[in-house]
């Protein structure tokens, strides 16, 4: 077991928008160390948002992240041989991580025929999330509903 807690690495803000959240998003998209490819996909998506919605793409991105971030989730807890789904509050970094993961999953599941490139799929999912629609929002609502349904087990919180 680890003797000390591993220190958090502070990410440097991305060069175009100066946002640490955009950097986290780029790092999550990155596959096999191809950061420049991931950057180009994210910037293409943000450019598409700028053209289509005539709004500041960073504002749309941040609104989408806030809308998708869950407040509650369920975690399994074993009590006397039975496993209960206990609702707990989601902390800051995990909120962002889940929001990023769900937005990317929503973008990946969009059909190729309509959008042709991942940048356009990502832009569509971000705009949907900013408008409180789309697959990422549906995932968040499912998790919230599950937490509300298991509220009876909240006294098992640790």
Is 14 domain-assigned?
Answer: no
Per-residue burial over 69-81, b if 16 or more Cβ lie within 10 Å, else e, is bbebbbeeeeeee
CATH of residue 80's domain is 1.10.455.10
Flag whether the pTM goes above 0.85: yes
Residue 12 forms part of a structural domain: no
pLDDT at residue 120, rounded to an integer:
92
Instruction: Indicate whether 95 belongs to any domain.
Output: yes
Identify whether 2 is part of a domain: no
Q: Kindly state whether residue 15 falls inside one of the protein's structural domains.
A: no
Tally of domains within the chain? 1
pLDDT, tens digit, 9 for 90 and up, residues 65-105: 999 999 999 998 888 888 888 899 999 899 999 999 999 99
Give all strands (DSSP E) within the chain, no chain letters. 72-79, 82-89
- Looking at the domain assignment, is residue 6 inside a domain? no
Domain that holds residue 135: 20-156
- Find the mean pLDDT for residues 118-127: 93
Q: Which two tokens stand for residue 74?
A: 């369920």
pLDDT at 42 exceeding the cut of 70: yes
The residues near 70 (Cβ < 8 Å, ≥ 6 apart) are 90, 95, 98, 99, 140, 143, 144
What SS3 state is found at 145?
A: helix
- Determine, yes or no, domain membership for 5: no
Residue 63 located in a structural domain: yes
């Amino acid at each position: 077991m680890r003797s000390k807690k591993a220190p958090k690495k502070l990410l440097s803000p991305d060069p175009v928008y100066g946002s640490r959240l955009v950097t986290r998003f780029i790092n999550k998209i990155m596959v096999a160390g191809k950061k420049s490819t991931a950057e180009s996909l994210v910037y293409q998506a943000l450019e598409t948002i700028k053209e289509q919605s005539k709004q500041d793409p960073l504002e749309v991105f941040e609104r989408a992240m806030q809308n998708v971030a869950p407040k509650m989730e369920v975690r399994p807890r074993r009590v006397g041989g039975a496993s209960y789904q206990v609702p707990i509050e989601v902390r800051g970094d995990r909120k962002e991580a889940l929001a990023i993961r769900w937005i990317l999953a929503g973008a990946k599941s969009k059909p190729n025929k309509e959008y042709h490139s991942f940048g356009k799929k990502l832009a569509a999912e971000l705009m949907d999330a900013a408008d409180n629609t789309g697959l990422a929002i549906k995932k968040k609502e499912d998790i919230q509903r599950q937490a509300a349904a298991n509220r009876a087990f909240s006294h098992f919180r640790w």
